[in-house]
Amino acid sequence: MTAQAVVFTPDARQSQEDFREVLECLARPGRLGRVGESPFPLTGARHAYALLRALADQEVSISIDGAEESVARFASLGTGSRLVESEVADYVLFLTDPGDQLAHLCRGELEVPEFGATAVVLVESLASGDRYVVSGPGVPGAREFRMSGISPATLVARDAACAFYPLGIDIVFVDPGGRMVGLPRTTVIERQAD
């Protein structure tokens, strides 16, 4: 078998790198990670879309929120995923502050909490903005990160969606520069006054 050729396309490699980084981010909530980019009609969301492409394919369903229909169709074609309403989607890409909508995503069931949705949320920045402190599994004590573009209503809705662990949703925040922060359902998050 040693003589066999090994094929690894640039696309596949990008997906692998993005996956490893998001694995670290979800395993270490609040840690600042980086994700690659993929052509997308909305330039600011190229990195957020790259993450969606790394994870979604014909086996799962997606929903694109905060953009016109043609953008959603682009994402569906690019990933091969079925386009569905956000309430039943496996993966939801929010191109604007999701607010209350997070509370309506699929949270899974007690026997299958993994059916809870993954939300990829485009934020203004993960380099500056409000100070957030997270704790829980994956965090030694507490960890801080900065984020702007997320309303208090979004965090309220997120906490409501995760109120009955193990049911809940898992979030990855991505900014236009390709920074990313993971927020699994196990994490406690608080906005701190500066």
Applying CB under 8 A, which of residues 16, 96, 148, 151 lies at the interface with other proteins?
A: 16
Q: Which of 147, 136, 135, 139 is nearest to 177 (CA)?
A: 147
| Part in contact with other proteins (CB under 8 A); list of ranges 8-16, 68-76, 98-106, 121-129 | 8-16
Applying CB under 8 A, which of residues 139, 155, 156, 160 lies at the interface with other proteins?
A: 139
24 lies in the binding site for other proteins (CB under 8 A) = yes
Applying CB under 8 A, which of residues 45, 55, 105, 121 lies at the interface with other proteins?
A: 55
- 120: which residues sit within 8 A by CB, 6+ positions away? 48, 51, 52, 91, 92, 93, 94, 171, 172, 174
137 lies in the binding site for other proteins (CB under 8 A) = yes
| Part in contact with other proteins (CB under 8 A); list of ranges 34-42, 66-74, 133-141, 144-152 | 133-141
| Sheet-wide strand order for 179-183 | 33-34, 179-183, 170-174, 118-122, 91-94, 61-65, 82-83
| Sheet-wide strand order for 143-148 | 143-148, 125-135, 188-192
26 lies in the binding site for other proteins (CB under 8 A) = yes
159 lies in the binding site for other proteins (CB under 8 A) = no
Largest CA distance in the chain: 60
Residue 30 CA to residue 8 CA, distance in Å, equals 31
Applying CB under 8 A, which of residues 87, 100, 114, 144 lies at the interface with other proteins?
A: 114
Alpha helices in 30-185 (DSSP H): 46-55, 69-79, 152-161
144 lies in the binding site for other proteins (CB under 8 A) = no
Applying CB under 8 A, which of residues 118, 119, 145, 181 lies at the interface with other proteins?
A: 118
Cβ 148 to other proteins, closest distance in Å? 24
Residue 38 CA to residue 174 CA, distance in Å, equals 13
Applying CB under 8 A, which of residues 69, 110, 192, 194 lies at the interface with other proteins?
A: 110
* Interface ranges with other proteins (CB under 8 A): 1-2, 4-9, 11-13, 15-17, 19-20, 22-24, 26-28, 54-55, 57-60, 109-111, 113-114, 116, 118, 137-140, 165-166, 170, 184-186
